[in-house]
Structure formats: C-alpha cells, structure tokens
Amino acid sequence: MTEATAEPHVKIFDTTLRDGEQAPGFSMSTPAKLIVARALRDLNVDIIEAGFAAASPGDAAAVETIAKEIEGPRICSLARLNEADIEAAARAVEPAKKKRVHTFIGTSPLHREAKLKLSKEEILKRISETVRFACSACEDVEFSPEDAIRTEREYLIEAVEAAIEAGAKTINIPDTVGYTTTEEIKELFAFLSGNARGAESVTFSVHCHDDLGMAVANSLAAVRGGARQIECAINGIGERAGNCSMEEAVMALATRTDFFRSKTQIETTKLYPASVALSRVTHNPIPRNKAVVGKNAFAHEAGIHQHGVLADKRTYEIMDAEAVGMPSNSIVLGKHSGKHALAARIEALGFKVSKQKVEDIFPMFKSLADTCREVTDADIVQLVTGNAGADGRAGPWRLRRVELRADVEDDTRPFARITMKHDNGDRRTVTCEGEGPIDAAFAAVCAITDVPGRINVLDLHHVASEGIVRAEAVVEVGEKLFTGKAEAVDIADAAVAAFVVAINQAAMLKTSPAAGEMAVGA
C-alpha cells in the first residue's frame, strides 16, 4: 500500500467568485458571494480567489468582506500587472489572515501585438519590476502569463523566470482559450518545472478553460506533469464554456489515487452542498447529467442497471453518493425500471407484500411510468394501497380558483390569490406575493396545503396544433421530489395545476398511515 504521506499535495485554488463570476449569467451580489465563500471554506479549499478588486468598487468591497469574514483558506484578489491594480488588490485582501495577490499579463504573440502593443522586452521588464512591487505590497504573490499555451516556449520560460526572480511564489500557466491537449500540457509542465531557473522554489499551477470540453482532463494531465495547484470553479463555471470543474477534478484525484498519486485536502462531502449553494444564488440549475453533482450522477433507471446496483452497487458506481454529500436515492423508478426495483422500493417504504402482489401492481406501475418523468414514493403508496385516482394519481386537494396579478406600471410586487378545496370539505383562500405571479401562486398553494414545496423544474410546452400548454413541475419537498403534469389553455393555469398535482402527492404521503406497519395483500 502507498503511504498517504508520499502522495504530493495538490492545492485547490477556487476561482468561482472571480473567473466564474465574470461569465454572463453568473454575476453575484456581495451577500451571494459570501454564501459561496462559506461553502468554499467548508470544502477546505486552499485558496479562494474572491474577485478582481480593481474591476469595480463593488468587486473590491466583496473581496474585502470575504477577507474579513472567511478564515481558513488564503484569500486572493486578481490584478492586472500594474501598480494601481495591485494596490487595490492588496488593500482588499488586507483583512485576511492569509492573503495573496494574483497578477497577470498576456505573453502570447496575439496578446502582445493586438492587445497590449508591447514588445517582448517591454513585457519582461514589466514582469520584473511589477511582480517585485506586488511582493512589497502583499506577502504572497502569484503570477500568470496569460494565454501561456499559445506563447512561444522559449519566451514563456523567460517570462516565468523573470517572475520567479522577482519573488512570485506561484507560477500559474493558463490555457486562457481552452486550446491545449492532455499530452501537450503535461509535457509543458514537465518542461517548465524541470528547466525554469528557480523552479524548485515555486508552486506550478494550472488554469484551464473548457472551450473544447477538456479543462478537467487537461488540468489532471498538468498534475501528472508537475502542477501542484489546480485553479477551478464549482460546477465548472467561468469565462465562455467555463473553467475546470472543481468537483470533477477533486473526485478524479480521490477516485484514481492509484493513477494520479496525489491528494487534495478537500472535504468531499461538501461538494454537493457547495454546488447547490452556487446554483441557488446564481439561479442556474445544475444540469441533471452533470458529472459528480448532477441528479443523474448516482441515479439508475434502466432495469438491468437497477438489478446490478441492488445486488452490489459497485457494478455501476465508482464513487459513493455520500462521499460527495449527495442524498442517496440511486434507484429512480421510471418506465425503464423492472420488478426488482419496484419490489425493493415497496419494501423500503415499509410494506410487506407477496411476489404475486408485485406482479399485479407491475402493469399499473408501467402505465403510470409511461405518463411521467419519475414515479414517486407517493405514487407507490397509492398503487400498493389501491388508492390511486383514475389517472393513477390523487391527493386530498382540488384547485378551485386562480387569480394572478402583476402590475408593470407601479412597483407593487406581483401576487396571486388561490382557492382550494380539501376532500374533507375544507375550503381555503390565500393571497401571497412572489417574484412573479406564478411564483406567488406556488407560495399560496404551499400555504393552503401546509406542504413546504420548492419548484425544482418547470417545463412548459405550447402545443400550437391543439391550442394548449402542457406543464410538468418537479417539486422538492424536504429531500423528496414529486412530479406533476397538467395541461390547460393558459400557460399560468397549466403551471399552477401541475404544481398542485405534485403537492398533492406530498400531502398524501404525509397523511398516509405509517407505511412500516402495513401488510398489504400479502
């Protein structure tokens, strides 16, 4: 067995709040950044690049707020290679116990000639003088030759040596445009760490973009070539197609230590919570099929896979959902599921049923699965207890009236007034405000039914040939997901009706007798 101490430590430098935040659709307010910074601290990342202080007063304030509050990771600000930027960065990180200024300048022919209009010599001089200045302003300085991958190798090594000589402790090699390949970058890191004067006294870092979908693979290849810091972002966000995804790089190193022989200090069980926190504050859902943190990453619907996973989950899983902090619900019941999975879920819900009962329920289960995205626990309870409605779904609440209001001219918040009736005769009307009228309607439905639902997915399809809108709502209640489908002439009516179908299932599950005590048709 390899001794853990023999494996080199790879630092995780998180740039979610800088490169990530720079991308369209991902900008964050200071409170939102603080939420993400706390998640990064819980992950135990080595460095948080909290922003680009010189970019705006708001950016500087956000870096400073994070530097004041977050303890543990080193707090870093980006700065162009000029004194004003560096001073702004050093000021913003000043309150942190551990601080860093990360300064950069373009070195490739395109950057030199088209953007900077500086000669090679002028850039080398700037690196020597200004990195030295940065070292006098901050205890820890990182230098990046921007667009390093497209920089002539003999010039790149000169730039790197100038920065090392001026006092930089970390040399970051960015693939600014996501152009490199695994073999090329591995070889480049081996070349620089083996040949640059002073290389032994610095940490080499890799910063990859995902334009060709290779950011994670290239970052890992750089580690094989000698990189000891990976710059990455939660959910892989960043300029254009994004940066190297932290969760993927970290889990690759953790799952294949036999191959990479390196380790990080990341608390992997905090990966999923961090991914969810970022998704919530930026209003960008995590794609279902996202590696490591997507809903499907540990889910199995195909019958053959479910059979294998129920026998031994290693048949189709290389990591545990728990290891990345994901609630494990690996068996998703849908139209591809078989009897093994259905029987296992019935048993997990606490029912004791005979094999024949499973056989009897199975055709109903399949026809229900054909009409929806996912068969929920509430559906199973209905099927087993025989309480399903004509459409295979039921629940105690009926929607009676939907009134929505959104004034574009004055600044009142949109609101909705919803009336619903319970099967026991109880009739309730509630008015709620929301971000929009549909959001307000969802809040009113939750208030009436006393089910704390959060919309997770809302798909709306206008079917022009039929003049209707088909809606599908996936609603999160606690750790469970409920799916509702509905159709209506109006888009809002369809959305609210689908939401109610999902909420009804949660309400049913809440009020059904303790499943554990049931023996049904055994």
* Residues near ligand KIV (CB under 6 A): 19, 104, 144, 146, 172, 174, 176, 207, 209
What is the token pair recorded at 100? Answer: 């860093």
Give the pairing of strands 415-422 and 480-488: unpaired
The nearer residue to Zn ion, 19 or 248, going by C-beta atoms, is: 19
129: CB partners within 8 A, 6+ apart = 166
Q: Is the C-alpha dihedral spanning 499, 505, 509, 511 positive or negative?
A: positive
- Using the minimum distance from each CB to ligand KIV, give the nearer residue, 243 or 505: 243
Residue/partner pairs of 303-310 with CB below 8 Å, 24 or more apart:
303/336, 303/337, 303/338, 303/340, 303/341, 304/338, 306/331, 306/337, 306/338, 306/340, 306/341, 307/338, 307/340, 307/341, 310/340, 310/341, 310/344
Q: Residue 472 touches which of ligand KIV, Zn ion, none (CB < 5 to 8 A by kind)?
A: none
Helices (H), 80-119: 83-93, 109-110
Give the C-alpha separation, 459 to 40, whole Å: 32
* Residue 175 binds Zn ion, judged by CB under 5 A: no
Residue closer to ligand KIV (CB basis): 175 or 301: 175
- Give the count of beta carbons closer than 10 Å to the beta carbon of residue 319: 16
Q: Which does 144 bind (CB under 5 to 8 A by kind): ligand KIV, Zn ion, none?
A: ligand KIV
Rounded to a whole number of angstroms, the minimum distance from the CB of residue 144 to ligand KIV is: 4
Nearer of residues 144 and 330 to ligand KIV, judged by Cβ: 144
Shortest distance, position 174 Cβ to Zn ion, whole Å: 6
146 binds, among ligand KIV, Zn ion, none (CB under 5 to 8 A by kind): ligand KIV
- To ligand KIV, the closest distance from the beta carbon of 20 in angstroms equals 10
Report the distance separating Cα 278 and Cα 234, nearest Å. Answer: 7
DSSP for 356-390 reads: HHHHHHHHHHHHHHHHSS---HHHHHHHHHT---T
Pairwise CA distance, residues 459 & 152, whole Å: 49
Residue 89 Cβ, how far from ligand KIV at the closest point, in Å?
12
Give the N- to C-terminal CA distance of the chain in Å, as an integer. Answer: 51
Give the shortest CB-128-to-ligand KIV separation in angstroms: 19
- Looking at the Cβ atoms of 192 and 495, the one nearer to ligand KIV is 192
Cα-trace Rg, the chain:
28
When the beta carbons of 54 and 498 are compared against ligand KIV, the nearer one is 54
DSSP 8-state symbol, 73: S
Name which of 24 and 425 has its Cβ closer to ligand KIV: 24
Beta carbon of residue 172, minimum distance to ligand KIV (angstroms, whole number): 6
Q: Does residue 247 touch Zn ion according to CB under 5 A?
A: no
Q: Does residue 19 interact with Zn ion by CB under 5 A? A: yes
Please, what is the minimum distance in Å from the beta carbon of residue 176 to ligand KIV? 3
Name which of 175 and 247 has its Cβ closer to Zn ion.
175
Whole-angstrom Cα distance, residue 49 to residue 59?
A: 12
CB of 111 to ligand KIV, least distance (A): 10
Question: Which of 321, 235, 324 has its CA nearest to residue 278?
Answer: 235
Q: Which does 104 bind (CB under 5 to 8 A by kind): ligand KIV, Zn ion, none?
A: ligand KIV
Question: Nearest-5° angle of CA 235, CA 10, CA 193?
Answer: 120
Beta strands in 43-85 (DSSP E): 47-51, 74-80
Q: Which is nearer to ligand KIV, 239 or 487 (CB)?
A: 239
> Which of 104, 260 has the CB closer to ligand KIV?
104
- Write out the two tokens for 23: 């991308």
Min. distance of Cβ 22 from Zn ion in angstroms? 8
To the nearest whole angstrom, how small is the minimum distance from the Cβ of residue 179 to ligand KIV? Answer: 11
Residues forming the site for Zn ion (CB under 5 A): 19
